[in-house]
Chain A
Amino acid sequence: MDGPMRERTRALRRSLLGIAAMVVFLLFAVGCGDDDEDAGATGGTESADTAAAPKGKPIVIGMAVAKSGFAEAFDWPPAQAAVLAVDDINAAGGVLDRPLKVVIEDTKSELDLGGPAAARTIQKGAQVGVVTCDLNLAGPAALEFAKNDMVSMSTCAGDPAFRDLSPFAFSAGVANPAEAAGAADWASQEGYKKAYVIHDTTLSYYVTWAAAFKRTFEHFGGEVVGEDRFKSTDPSVAPQITRLRELEDEPDLIVMCSQTSLGGPTLIRQIRAAGIDTPILMCVGMQGKSWLASVPGLENAYVTAYSDFTGDDENPKVNDIAERFVEEYGQPDNSHPIEGYGAIEILVEAIKRAGTAEGPALRAELEKFDKVDVASGATTFTPEWHISFDRHVVIQEIKDGEQTSVARVTPKKVFYPDE
Chain B
Amino acid sequence: MEFFLQNLINALSLGSLFALLALGISLIFGIMRLINFAHGELIMAGGYVLYLLTYKLSDVPLPVYFVVAVAFVALLAVLMERAGFRPLRGAEASTLLVGSFAISIGLQHASLALFGGDPVPIVYPAFAIENFAVGDFLIPKVDVITIVVTIVLLIGLAGFLKKSDTGIRMRAAAEDFSMARLLGVRANSVVAAAFLISGGLAGIVSFFYLAKIGTVVPRIGLDPVLVGIVATVIGGLGKLVGAVLGGFVLGLVTIMAQAYLPVSVSPFRDSFVFGAVIIILLLRPAGLLSGGSAARRV
Contacts and interface: CB of A to CB of B under 8 A. Distances in A.
Contacts of A235: 14, 17, 209, 212-213, 223-224
Interface residues of B, number: 45
Interface string B210-226: 00111101111011100
A231 interface: yes
A308 B217 CA distance: 26
A66 to B, nearest CB: 9
Contacts of A269: 129, 212-214
A275 interface: yes
Interface string B103-120: 000000000100011111
Interface string A233-252: 11111111011011000000
A296 B266 CA distance: 30
Contact of B220 (A237, A239, A262): A262
Contacts of A245: 138
Contacts of B119: 260-262, 265, 290-291, 294
Contact of A296 (B123, B217, B219, B220): B123
Name the prevailing secondary structure of the B interface residues: helix
Interface in A147-193: none
Given A269-B129, A275-B138, A295 B214 contact: yes
Contact of A14 (B87, B112, B255, B266): B87
B3 A260 contact: no
What size tier do the contact residues of chain A reach?
35 or more
B263 A270 contact: no
A262 B3 contact: no
Contacts, number: 125
A261 B215 contact: yes
B10 interface: yes
B259 interface: yes
Contact of B269 (A231, A265, A275, A292): A231
Interface string B77-98: 0000000000100000000000
A322 B73 CA distance: 41
Interface in A41-96: 68-73
Which 4 residue pairs are nearest across A and B when measured between Cβ atoms?
A: A294-B214, A293-B121, A273-B129, A239-B259
6 contacts: A73-B118, A229-B266, A235-B14, A238-B140, A261-B219, A262-B220
